[in-house]
Every structure is written in C-alpha cells, then in structure tokens.
Structure 1
Amino acid sequence: MPRLLLFNKPMNVLSQFTDRGSPTKRSTLSDFIDIPGVYPAGRLDRDSEGLLLLTDDGRLQARIADPKFKLPKTYLVQVEGEPDDVAIAALANGVQLKDGLTRPARIERVDDPQLWPRDPPVRFRKTVPDTWLRLTITEGRNRQVRRMTAAVGHPTLRLVRWGINEWSLDGLSPGKWREVDPAR
C-alpha cells in the first residue's frame, strides 16, 4: 500500500531532504521527517509555508505534481494593500505573466485566518493595509501565486498552501506531519 504524508512545511525549510553544496546550513525535510523512501510530490518554495505531500509511490507522486492532472491547490495569501474588484476579477480570469496567461482561478477575500505566528514575522506598516485572500489554482508555475498578485499590484507578504485536492492542513501544526490513506 502506498504511503502518503501531509506535512506542514514551515517557512525557510527546503522542500528536499538534503542541501548539498550550500555554504551555509539550511533546514530541510530531514529535520522533520525520518521515514525512508518518501519524497515530495511537488514543491513549495523556501519562503512559503504550508501543505507539502510526500509519498513513496511514483504514480501517486506524478498524479499530484503533474500539471496535466490539474489538481486544485488552495493558498491563503496575505497581500499588500486592498485589491479592488478589478484586481480580484483579473486574478479570477487569468493574469498575463511573462510565461503566458494563467488559468482562471477561484478567489475570495477572507478575514484574517488566525494562523500560527511566522518566523520571521511579516513586516507591518501603519500606512499600508494588507488583505487576506483564498486563491485556488490548477497549475503550478514557478512562484505563480506571488507573480499573479504582483501583476495586479498587490505583492504577496505571506503565502500558506492550505490544501491540495481533498487534503488540507486542518489540525496540523507547523513542522508536524501525519499519514493518511492515499485512496480516500
């Protein structure tokens, strides 16, 4: 039976088990997970937090990570400023990036999701408000969510992947993981 782990990746942790060749020590998955034979299904940037799936099954890994399967990935995104309806519509309909138009996304403004504290904390500026969005995409270009919000004039301050398909971070603290049935 294939194994599937849900891991809440903290900020500044690489989505890999080793960090060979780096002149400075950086935190990796091996600092949190000691299960042989599991590998990340996809990636999550070092400066992003949240759900990372790991499996020992190559077919499952491909189904999760390959954009052709269009698995929805949901993010909680703290952006600088207050996006107006035009910016929200642009994110929903697709944003023109250097590597082409993004697929349409589901987006909504949300109240502060009351997440765990981030280390280091997000910078706070009295004169510039921030807004939380829930954004669901079905592709996974490099730094896509950050590039999308920047393209509509609202740079990302904090990015937390909350869910992939039916799997979510519900009840999972940063740096913790749990095993689930991949067939569910």
Structure 2
Amino acid sequence: MPEIILFNKPYGVITQFSDHPLHPTLSNHIDAPGFYPAGRLDTDSEGLLLLTDDGRLQARIADPQHKLPKTYWVQVEGRPSEEALAALRRGVDLGDFVTRPAEAALIDPPEIWPRQPPIRVRKFIPDSWIALTIREGKNRQVRRMTAKVGCPTLRLIRVSIGDWTLDGLASGQWRRETVDPAALAVPRNTFRKRP
C-alpha cells in the first residue's frame, strides 16, 4: 500500500534531499529512501509537508486541479479589518493572477513552538493571527495575499493539507502513515487517512 510521511518542516529547511550550501534540507531530518515531497513549502515557511513513495499519490496531492484545501496559520503585522478579510475571501488581484476565493478568519494566537530565529517584532505595531485556507498554491501566494490587503506576513505555518494535519508533530518531527489505495481512484478531493 502507498505510504505517506507527514513532516513538520522547521523554518529554514529547504524541501529537497540534495545538499544545499546554506540551509539544512530534508535529508537532515528524514531517513526514508524512496520518499519524495508532494508539493513544496518555502524555506521561510513552516509546517506540514507531505512526502510519499507513490507517484500517483504524489501527483494527486501536488496537482492543483484536485484542489486539496491547504490551511495556514499566518502571523501578520497589524490587525486586518473586516474589509481586508472579505477581500481575502473574495479573491485578491495580485497583478499576474487573481486568487481563488479563500476562507479567512482572525484567530487567537495558537499554542506553537518558538521559531528559530524569532520573528522581527516592532514595538509600536501590533501583530495578529489569521487562519487562511486556499485551494491553489502559487509561488509565495499567502505572503502576497496578506501584503496586498495591508498586513504583511511575519510567520507562516501550514497546518493541514486535505485531511492530513500537524496534530501531534513537534517542529522537525515526522511520522509515516499508510494510505488506502482506493483514494487514488477517487476523482475529486476525497482523500482520507486510514483509521
């Protein structure tokens, strides 16, 4: 049966196994020959990265046509107004494309691991947290979206992809799960973890 690895990627780790002259890579954290990332997560972003040993599953997870929802906790500079949140929900014109409608809500600061290095704190400018769910994944999309509505991203953590979540994983930890092969035959966004 296909297997998947759920990895809580720390800040500064590059989503590749080959060595990099400046940054740690997946090989510094995961010893699982035959597994490859299903999608990407920027070096300066944290959180859930999926890896699999099955090419069809990898394609299903990474291909935007399947529109797996991805949820992020985003620490932003300032406090977004209801108008800014409504703009994120409608879709934001980023110049080269307009984002699809997203789910966006203010949340209380989550209980999470400290980031190394810490974010830049500005004494007279508050920060806040947004839960943002998108169904696409263009380059640096979430950061561009929050900047466009006037709240630049300070910290970005992906907490879920489809039904897979970070639950129980500290930063830098990973676990392996088996995937029901029937999920590969389902044409739409219906992947389910095996119980």
Spell out, residue by residue over 1:17-57, the C-alpha distance to the aligned partner (whole angstroms, 9 max, x if none): 013xx5x3420000011110000000000000000000010
Match of 2:76 in 1: 79
Match of 1:68 in 2: 65
Match of 2:119 among 119, 122, 131: 122
Spell out, residue by residue over 1:40-96, the C-alpha distance to the aligned partner (whole angstroms, 9 max, x if none): 000000000000000010110011001000000000000000100110000011000
Segments of 4+ moved more than 3 angstroms: none
* Unmatched runs of 5 consecutive residues or more in structure 2: 181-192
Q: Do residues 97 (structure 1) and 94 (structure 2) align?
A: yes
> 2:154 and 2:123 mapped to 1: Cα distance?
15
Q: Do residues 58 (structure 1) and 55 (structure 2) align?
A: yes
Partner SS, residue 14 of structure 2: coil
Q: How does 1:35-46 map to 2 (within 5 A)?
A: 35-46=32-43
> 2:85 and 2:122 mapped to 1: Cα distance?
23
Partner SS, residue 88 of structure 1: helix
Match of 2:187 in 1: none
Match of 2:166 among 166, 169, 172: 169
TM-score (norm 2): 0.91
> 2:67 and 2:138 mapped to 1: Cα distance?
12
Match of 1:157 in 2: 154
> 2:178 and 2:3 mapped to 1: Cα distance?
7
Spell out, residue by residue over 1:108-153, the C-alpha distance to the aligned partner (whole angstroms, 9 max, x if none): 1000002100000011122100010000000000000000000111
Percent identity at matched positions? Answer: 63
Match of 1:13 in 2: 13
Deviation at 1:181, TM superposition (A): 2.4
> 1:39 and 1:8 mapped to 2: Cα distance?
15
Corresponding letter in the other structure for 1:119 = Q
Deviation at 1:103, TM superposition (A): 0.2
Partner SS, residue 86 of structure 1: helix
Partner SS, residue 100 of structure 1: coil
> 2:111 and 2:154 mapped to 1: Cα distance?
15
> 1:130 and 1:180 mapped to 2: Cα distance?
36
TM-score (norm 1): 0.96
Which segment drifts farther, 6-15 or 94-103? 94-103
> 2:89 and 2:128 mapped to 1: Cα distance?
16
Q: Do residues 182 (structure 1) and 179 (structure 2) align?
A: yes
> 2:178 and 2:47 mapped to 1: Cα distance?
19
